[in-house]
Structure 1
Amino acid sequence: MSQTGNKSSSDGETKPQTLFVNKCIRGSKFRSPKAENRKESNDLKTTAFRPSDETPKPNMMRWRKKPFPPKLGKNPVDKCLDLNNCRLTTPDVRELLALLPSLPDVEELDISWNDFIGRTLHLLMQQMHLVSKLKILRLGRCRLTADDVRALGEALKALPELELNLSWNSKVGGNLPLILRTFREGSKIQMPELVDYALTSEDGAFVGQLLLRLQNLEVLDLSINRNIGGSLNSIAQGLKSTLTLKVLKLHSCGLSQKSVKLLDAAFRYLCELRTLDLSCNKEMSGGFEDSPGLAVLEHLEGLDLHQCSLMADDTMWLTRCIPFLSSFQELDLSANRKMGSSSENLLSRLQFLPALKSLLINNCALESETFTALAEASVHLPALEIVNLSWNKCVGSTLKLLLETLKLSTSLQVLRLSSCSLATEDVALLASVIQTGHLARLRKLDLSYNDSICDAEWTIFCQNLWLLKELTKLDISLQPSAFQERGQWFRHLLCAVTKLPEITEIGMKRWILPASQEEELEGFDQDHKSSIHFDHGGFQEADFSRLN
């Protein structure tokens, strides 16, 4: 392996040599650009672009974590090379090429988020025959050029069954046929990932024709390709032949009311569909009326319609479909403010979804009647793990309507009530529920942007907080325009933290720390070794190590 030459510093010391492997070790894990609060659960989803797993997969070799090169290619079970976000340079790519002959058994290669792969991909493609067992190639966000795309298309003639991920490479748009033209009819490809390719309408039409050849397709993700809405007719026709499809994602694809009708006609052929994502397509608003197709998806487990500008007619359509969706587990209707006043019947029918695990209905402008309907239905949802009611002001002073649900929901892990105008009695109620032993499995609790809670109620809440033994994150931050001095409750919070073995983060933005409590915080730091992060939003910040 090459090394950087030694350089003498100004004081005469010699800098240590840097191996290629060190670059891999420094590479940080890839994070998807999607906002964290957009999805709370990954139980049944296949993401648009899969990052490196938190726990290494079996048969995976990570150059960032294993000695390199001694073990490279020597272990027969090492079938996956993960070079995701390793800051590879052109010389590094050339070194990788020299190593390919020693990697004949590699089945998956991930070199995503390495900018220098672009403009050098042709070098790698010329040697792809040396890894003949390769099944998956990930090149997400590598700044591929049009020349790279053409080189990839030529190389794929010898690897027609290779599963590709080229997400977030805009130069693919307009050139998609160069890459995927080699897919044969009856191909075993299960998951071509086509996220944010800047696909053109012509590319969309090509995808429709391509789907006719992919009878084994299980996942189709065309998200963030805003120009394919005009070619959805071709795509919808192709979907009718993908009888094994389980995940369909069309997030932010420029879909219209006409698109809804086209998809509706295709749904009856998608008997195995589990996940459907049509989010962030505002032009679909009003298009769901008289569209019965969703009701035939009897195995559907997840539906994402957030930020679709749903209206009263759309809400009525979904209301009629719900009783037929007995397998439903996840529903995201967030950021549809126009549906708030017309969703009473819809929310009351949630009681027909006993397997529902995740309900995201934040920022929907719910009114008192709709919230009451939701509260009454939620009693019949024992499997709920995630509930997000944030930015619905009607929750304030009426949280007691959810009292029975909070007592019965033994599975609840995430509860978000940010900016809900919570009153003092709401926090007192929450504290009493915790005190009686409920919410024992709660892991994330968001009470931020509720600035009307008095010091006494915060104290009662913090005194009972230690009972949430599985809690990992708590957020009690104030709104950006509000600043308050912390009261006596802060001491009780610190005491509770010492009894929470899983806690890692406490959001406390805009709470002002007096000098006396600053000393108390310093004393806490000295007495406990941990990695708890108190987030003050830049005003005051302290990091602690996890309690032993």
Structure 2
Amino acid sequence: MEKTDDQNCQDRHEEDNPKSSPFDFVIKQFQGKKCAPEESKEQPSAIKQFFKSFDIGNSEGKDRKEVEETEVNNAGADDQSEKQDLSGEDGLSHLTSETETSSGEQRFNQFMEKLGKKPNSKNLDLNNCALSATDVTELASLLPFLPELEEISLSWNGCVGGTLKALTVHLHHVNLLKVLRLNNCRLTAEDVISLGEAFEIVSQLEELDLSWNSNIGGKLSLLTKKLQEGCKLKCLKITDCNLTAKDGESLDTALQHLAELRKLDISCNREIGGGFKASTAHLASLKNLEVLDLHQCCVTEEDMTVLSQVIPLLSSLQELNLSSNKNVGLSSDPLLGRLRFLPKLKSVTISNCGLGEESLSSLAEAALHLPELEILDLSWNKCVGGNLKLLLGALKLATEIQVFRLSSCNLVAEDLALLTSLRQDGHLTRLQKLDLSYNNNISDEGWAVFCQGLGAFKELSELDVSLRPSSCRDCGPWFRELLAALTQLPALAELGMQRWTLSESQRKQMEGFNQDNKRNIRFDC
């Protein structure tokens, strides 16, 4: 049977002092206090008994009063000694605590240096550090010494998968945690369960990023069912996690607890299509949502019906990405036309959505009511070619537009002429990025007209006129106009003109222009 601390202490005294005199007994009474302070109240009676044995026949003639005074003084000294002993124990405990903290901080610094990172008590950035399971366990043991920690990033560390519980059980030590990033960590079902349990601990969490963990698919409910009312999540990213329609439904039930959500990214989950049909009520309750990314989710026609009803109700929405969902353009539900009810929209990305002239017209009409629009991406919608004039009215009113992407849109010379005329008439004054790549149908005359008016885009910093990878054309007929325009564009930093053939002299001119003006002009033919 295991002995108590008091018994062990007593054993040590007996081993050190096998034989003792009466005076040794008194000394032991005083020295023994640190081992058994609770026995101190019995000490005065023991002292009293000892001195009484010398009271009879006292050779020095001490009277009883003197003996009693001695007893009282000794008792007082004994009480004071007890207080000092107890105070000493508290001080020792405090000193030990400081020592442990100092040792923990030192261990943390050594841990970070081992991984080639600078220690930061608020932001733990261990992305792509080839962490091992042992590293994760060691990190977990260091969390008690990081009470100010606000961000943990463990992304791109495959060995985190299967070991996350070792970390989550210690998250109560970092109750200020606001950001947790676990991209591409090979998370397992057990890890998802551990994260769900952690939601009850990390009440201040504002951002959770689980993107590129393929094993989450079909298991998302293990996490979402743990979300509680009052959850402070503002950003939730679950990109490319093999989510299914069932996961989409479980996310729907979780939305009722995400009133603070600002960004929802469930893009690149190709099997989630069909999972939005039950989400109407809860998705519409996200009144603070600013960013909704559903690109490449294979949304069905039923989903489009739901989204057409819900998205116009998201009054705070600023960014909408529906790219690579063919049913956006093919659906009879007028989602694009209803974007007019979202005047705060700053970014509309609907590349590769199978748009037709009807859906393009609906978008053009809605864009008239989007005064804050900064980014418009229509790439890979072939119907835009020859029909850019449908957007003429919207582009005239789009005073804030900075990014316009028209890659692979089957543009023709008429479309480029429209862009240059808009700028010459005082529109598109803030345009910074223009993507015209992969539009092989534009004639040399069309490029020449465009380059002649290109110098008017004074704010332009990026321009891409590259051809498709399988193509190669001579840019001789309009090269001179291009070179002249470049000298009028002080902000232009990047120009993509890949697959355009340059002569030796033209190549030297471009290389010289790059060096003299510190530009980045990309060409490869």
Q: TM-score range by the shorter chain?
A: 0.7 to 0.9
Q: Which amino acid aligns with 2:264?
A: L
The answer to whether 1:206 aligns with 2:194 is yes
Find the residue that maps to 1:427 and give its secondary structure: helix
Find the residue that maps to 2:383 and give its secondary structure: helix
The answer to whether 1:194 aligns with 2:192 is no
Find the residue that maps to 2:271 and give its secondary structure: helix
Find the residue that maps to 1:230 and give its secondary structure: coil
Q: Which amino acid aligns with 1:535?
A: R
CA distance in 2: counterparts of 1:208 and 1:523, whole angstroms? 58
Alignment of 1:386-425 (within 5 A): 386-425=375-414
Q: 1:147 aligns with which of 119, 131, 134?
A: 134
Indicate the residue corresponding to 2:239 in structure 1.
251
Indicate the residue corresponding to 2:250 in structure 1.
262
Is the CA contact (8 Å cut-off) linking 1:348 and 1:376 kept in structure 2?
Answer: yes
Indicate the residue corresponding to 1:460 in structure 2.
449
The answer to whether 1:273 aligns with 2:271 is no
Find the residue that maps to 2:257 and give its secondary structure: coil
Is the CA contact (8 Å cut-off) linking 1:361 and 1:388 kept in structure 2?
Answer: yes
Cα gap change, 1:214/1:494 in structure 2, threshold over 3 Å: closer, same or farther?
Answer: same
Q: Deviations over 1:117-170 (max 9, x none)?
A: 29xx9xx9xxxxxx7x82221111000111111211222244366332111101
Cα gap change, 1:339/1:521 in structure 2, threshold over 3 Å: closer, same or farther?
Answer: closer
Q: 2:434 aligns with which of 445, 458, 480?
A: 445
Cα gap change, 1:374/1:155 in structure 2, threshold over 3 Å: closer, same or farther?
Answer: same
Indicate the residue corresponding to 1:429 in structure 2.
418
Cα gap change, 1:523/1:224 in structure 2, threshold over 3 Å: closer, same or farther?
Answer: closer
Q: Deviations over 1:455-506 (max 9, x none)?
A: 2221221111111111111001111222111133221111111111111111
Q: Deviations over 1:495-536 (max 9, x none)?
A: 1111111111111111111345346546756xx821112211
The answer to whether 1:287 aligns with 2:275 is yes
Cα gap change, 1:376/1:148 in structure 2, threshold over 3 Å: closer, same or farther?
Answer: same
CA distance in 2: counterparts of 1:257 and 1:419, whole angstroms? 31
Find the residue that maps to 2:298 and give its secondary structure: coil
Residues 211-220 or 324-333, more deviating: 211-220
Q: CA RMSD in A?
A: 2.8
Indicate the residue corresponding to 1:300 in structure 2.
289
Q: 2:221 aligns with which of 227, 233, 238?
A: 233
Q: 1:216 aligns with which of 204, 228, 233?
A: 204
Find the residue that maps to 1:474 and give its secondary structure: strand
Is the CA contact (8 Å cut-off) linking 1:216 and 1:242 kept in structure 2?
Answer: no
The answer to whether 1:376 aligns with 2:365 is yes
Structure 2 unaligned residues grouped into runs of 5+: 1-101
Percent identity over the alignment is 48
How far does residue 262 in structure 1 lie from its aligned partner after superposition? 1.2
Cα gap change, 1:142/1:406 in structure 2, threshold over 3 Å: closer, same or farther?
Answer: same
Q: Which amino acid aligns with 2:314?
A: L
Cα gap change, 1:519/1:194 in structure 2, threshold over 3 Å: closer, same or farther?
Answer: closer
Indicate the residue corresponding to 2:146 in structure 1.
159
CA distance in 2: counterparts of 1:498 and 1:164, whole angstroms? 46
Is the CA contact (8 Å cut-off) linking 1:171 and 1:197 kept in structure 2?
Answer: yes
Find the residue that maps to 1:529 and give its secondary structure: helix
CA distance in 2: counterparts of 1:260 and 1:534, whole angstroms? 44
How far does residue 234 in structure 1 lie from its aligned partner after superposition? 2.5
CA distance in 2: counterparts of 1:448 and 1:348, whole angstroms? 27
The answer to whether 1:469 aligns with 2:469 is no
Indicate the residue corresponding to 1:530 in structure 2.
517
Cα gap change, 1:148/1:372 in structure 2, threshold over 3 Å: closer, same or farther?
Answer: same
Q: 2:170 aligns with which of 178, 182, 189?
A: 182
Q: Which amino acid aligns with 2:414?
A: E
Indicate the residue corresponding to 2:125 in structure 1.
138
Is the CA contact (8 Å cut-off) linking 1:108 and 1:135 kept in structure 2?
Answer: no
CA distance in 1: counterparts of 2:166 and 2:132, whole angstroms? 13
Is the CA contact (8 Å cut-off) linking 2:438 and 2:466 kept in structure 1?
Answer: yes
The answer to whether 1:117 aligns with 2:105 is no
CA distance in 1: counterparts of 2:476 and 2:174, whole angstroms? 67
CA distance in 2: counterparts of 1:241 and 1:185, whole angstroms? 22
How far does residue 369 in structure 1 lie from its aligned partner after superposition? 1.2
Is the CA contact (8 Å cut-off) linking 2:324 and 2:351 kept in structure 1?
Answer: yes
| Higher CA-based Rg | 2
Is the CA contact (8 Å cut-off) linking 2:147 and 2:174 kept in structure 1?
Answer: no
CA distance in 2: counterparts of 1:468 and 1:174, whole angstroms? 53
CA distance in 1: counterparts of 2:109 and 2:417, whole angstroms? 53
Indicate the residue corresponding to 1:510 in structure 2.
499
Q: Which amino acid aligns with 2:164?
A: L
CA distance in 2: counterparts of 1:263 and 1:143, whole angstroms? 31
CA distance in 2: counterparts of 1:181 and 1:396, whole angstroms? 57
Indicate the residue corresponding to 2:4 in structure 1.
none
Indicate the residue corresponding to 2:95 in structure 1.
none
Cα gap change, 1:187/1:518 in structure 2, threshold over 3 Å: closer, same or farther?
Answer: closer
Q: Deviations over 1:67-108 (max 9, x none)?
A: xxxxxxxxxxxxxxxxxxxxxxxxxxxxxxxxxx9xx89x99
CA distance in 2: counterparts of 1:189 and 1:529, whole angstroms? 48
Is the CA contact (8 Å cut-off) linking 1:211 and 1:241 kept in structure 2?
Answer: no
CA distance in 2: counterparts of 1:147 and 1:215, whole angstroms? 27
Cα gap change, 1:201/1:287 in structure 2, threshold over 3 Å: closer, same or farther?
Answer: same
**TM-score (normalizing by structure 2):** 0.75
CA distance in 1: counterparts of 2:230 and 2:209, whole angstroms? 13
Q: Which amino acid aligns with 1:278?
A: I
Is the CA contact (8 Å cut-off) linking 2:305 and 2:333 kept in structure 1?
Answer: no
Q: Which amino acid aligns with 2:137?
A: R
Cα gap change, 1:374/1:108 in structure 2, threshold over 3 Å: closer, same or farther?
Answer: farther
CA distance in 2: counterparts of 1:234 and 1:391, whole angstroms? 38
CA distance in 1: counterparts of 2:392 and 2:159, whole angstroms? 53
Cα gap change, 1:393/1:344 in structure 2, threshold over 3 Å: closer, same or farther?
Answer: farther
Is the CA contact (8 Å cut-off) linking 2:293 and 2:320 kept in structure 1?
Answer: yes
**TM-score (normalizing by structure 1):** 0.72
Q: Which amino acid aligns with 1:347?
A: L
Is the CA contact (8 Å cut-off) linking 2:215 and 2:242 kept in structure 1?
Answer: yes
Is the CA contact (8 Å cut-off) linking 1:201 and 1:230 kept in structure 2?
Answer: no
